[in-house]
């Protein structure tokens, strides 16, 4: 396998499961040294099992404003100045808009939007100083369309896209690109469980290509945006939704 990320250091949040783990594995398989961050204590063992050597896991709650700076400082200490940040950590707490409890609204915003900003800010500081960086934020098709019972989720992901626009504008002159990726339903273990049965089959019929996205497809897109050949791409929100949002 081509080692296109040889010598690169990538921080990946949400790295213990789902898209985040697939992204971490994708980078490691291509030569990157990965620092995985997750709320789960299992992240250390999972990172140690990735292809290659020198990977590192950090178990932290990124909703604490000071956590991001501490995580990036630890990444610099154990691996060096990061070249890549992928903000993949997220939650989906679904309620009818009229019934959304304040605690579930705030939790969604804290994890999906605020934690991503804190990590981008902390990593952006060292990347700007180094004159190079690639930041990819996980948004969602829910950032650009409305979905039933997704008020908090849609708001948080739309915020990610707006944040991506601002950071890309401010940091482009410093060699740091910032982009967002917006998948449809992704067939992670959690995605398969949440969209099992007729609910999932109906959702697939509503997607022009007739299926959900695979985790590796999302990881491959993130890797492209994190590569040197994507240096001219910044401030974009790339949809990977099989045409769903064009219907």
29 backbone dihedrals φ, ψ, rounded to 5°: -65, -20
Predicted confidence at residue 1, as pLDDT, reads 63
Residue 142 in domain: yes
Write a three-state SS string for 134-189: EEEEECCHHHCCCCCCEHHHHHHHHHHHHHHHHHHHHHHHHCEEEEEEEECCECCH
Spatial separation of the C-alpha atoms in residues 36 and 150, rounded to whole Å: 28
pLDDT band at 176 (very low <50, low <70, confident <90, very high): very high
From the CB of residue 31, how many other CB atoms can be counted at a distance below 10 Å? 16
Q: Render 201-215 in DSSP notation, one character per residue.
A: HHHHHTSTTSSPBPH
What residues does 35 pair with on adjacent strands?
Answer: 11, 56
**How many independent structural domains does the chain possess?**
1
* Domain membership of residue 149 as a residue range: 9-246
Mean pLDDT over 110-120 rounds to 98
pTM given for the model: 0.96
Catalytic (active site) residue 132: no
The active-site residue out of 21, 118, 132, 153 is 153
User: Strand pairing partners for 12?
Assistant: 36, 86
Q: Is residue 85 part of a domain?
A: yes
Average pLDDT value for the chain? 96
In a domain, 101, yes or no: yes
Output the furthest CA–CA distance in the chain (Å, rounded): 51
Is 3 among the domain residues?
no
Q: Is the pLDDT of residue 14 over 90?
A: yes
Residue 247 is predicted with a pLDDT of 66
The H-or-E segment that residue 82 falls in is none
In a domain, 4, yes or no: no
User: Once rounded to an integer, what is the mean pLDDT over residues 148-175?
Assistant: 97
Question: When comparing pLDDT for 74 and 190, which is higher?
Answer: 74
- What whole-number percentage of the chain has pLDDT above 70? 99
Q: What is the DSSP string of 4-64?
A: TTTT-EEEEESTTSHHHHHHHHHHHHTT-EEEEEESSTTHHHHHHTSSSS--EEEE--TTS
Three-class secondary structure of residue 245 per DSSP = helix
CA distance 148 to 199: 13
Q: What is the dihedral of CA 118, 136, 33, 6, to 10 degrees?
A: -150
β-bridge partners, 176: 133
What does the block give as tokens for 207?
């997607």
What are the backbone angles phi and psi of residue 90, rounded to the nearest 5°? -170, 165
| Whether residue 156 has pLDDT greater than 80 | yes
Residue 90, pLDDT score: 94
Domain of 214, CATH number, reads 3.40.50.720
Has residue 107 been placed in a domain?
yes
First-to-last C-alpha distance (Å) of the chain: 37
Long-range contacts for 192-197 (Cβ within 8 Å, ≥24 apart)?
none
- Confidence band (pLDDT; 50, 70, 90) for 196? confident
Lowest-pLDDT choice from 76-85, 87-96, 147-156, 193-202: 193-202
Which tops the pLDDT comparison, 49 or 192? Answer: 49
């Amino acid at each position: 396998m081509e080692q296109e990320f040889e010598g690169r250091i990538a921080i990946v949040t949400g790295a213990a499961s789902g898209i985040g783990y697939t992204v971490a594995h994708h980078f490691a398989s291509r030569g990157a040294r990965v620092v995985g961050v997750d709320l789960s204590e299992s992240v250390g063992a999972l990172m140690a099992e990735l292809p290659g050597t020198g990977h590192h896991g950090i178990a932290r709650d990124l909703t604490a404003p000071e956590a991001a700076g501490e995580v990036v400082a630890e990444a610099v200490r154990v691996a060096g100045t990061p070249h890549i940040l992928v903000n993949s950590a997220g939650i989906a707490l679904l309620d009818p808009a009229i019934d959304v409890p304040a605690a579930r609204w705030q939790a969604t915003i804290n994890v999906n939007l605020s934690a991503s900003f804190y990590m981008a800010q902390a990593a952006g500081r060292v990347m700007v100083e180094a004159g190079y960086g690639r930041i990819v934020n996980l948004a969602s098709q829910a950032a650009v369309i409305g979905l039933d019972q997704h008020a908090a989720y849609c708001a948080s992901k739309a915020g990610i896209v707006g944040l991506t626009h601002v950071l890309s504008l401010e940091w482009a002159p410093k060699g740091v690109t910032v982009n967002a990726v917006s998948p449809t339903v992704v067939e992670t273990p959690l995605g398969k469980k949440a969209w099992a049965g007729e609910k999932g089959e109906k959702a697939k019929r509503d997607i022009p290509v007739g299926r959900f996205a695979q985790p590796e497809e999302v990881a491959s897109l993130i890797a492209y945006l994190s590569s040197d050949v994507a240096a001219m791409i910044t401030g974009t929100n790339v949809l990977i939704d099989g045409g769903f949002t064009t219907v």
